[in-house]
Amino acid sequence: MTPKTLPETCPGINKFIRPTPETINCHSCGRSLEIWSDETQTKCDDCGAQVSRESGTSCLDYCEYAAKCKDIISKKIIK
């Protein structure tokens, strides 16, 4: 029997180090825009408005291991 190993990080970190595309609507003209899960805002190609995603709570706001994950994320962004 092979012993189970714990993951290096929690699954919540995946959206920060392995971003995925999402869709939001422009608040000005209504156009559907692509924004990546690690981005906070994007620019509308039609009207030029800066569009921000609604900020919500993430595991980085409350998890006891958030400091470790934030360190991993910052190293990933720098590379």
**b/e for 22-61, b at 16 or more Cβ within 10 A?**
eebebeeeeeebebeeeeeebebeeeeeebeeeeeeeeee
pLDDT of residue 26: 95
pLDDT of residue 60: 84
pLDDT of residue 27: 93
Residue 40, domain member (yes or no): yes
Residue 1, domain member (yes or no): no
Residue 60, domain member (yes or no): yes
Average pLDDT of the residues in 47-74? 85
Residue 5, domain member (yes or no): no
pLDDT of residue 6: 47
Which pLDDT tens digit goes with each residue over 4-54? 554 566 777 777 778 889 999 999 999 999 998 888 899 999 999 999 987
Residue 27 domain boundaries: 11-78
Q: pTM here?
A: 0.61
Number of domains in the chain: 1
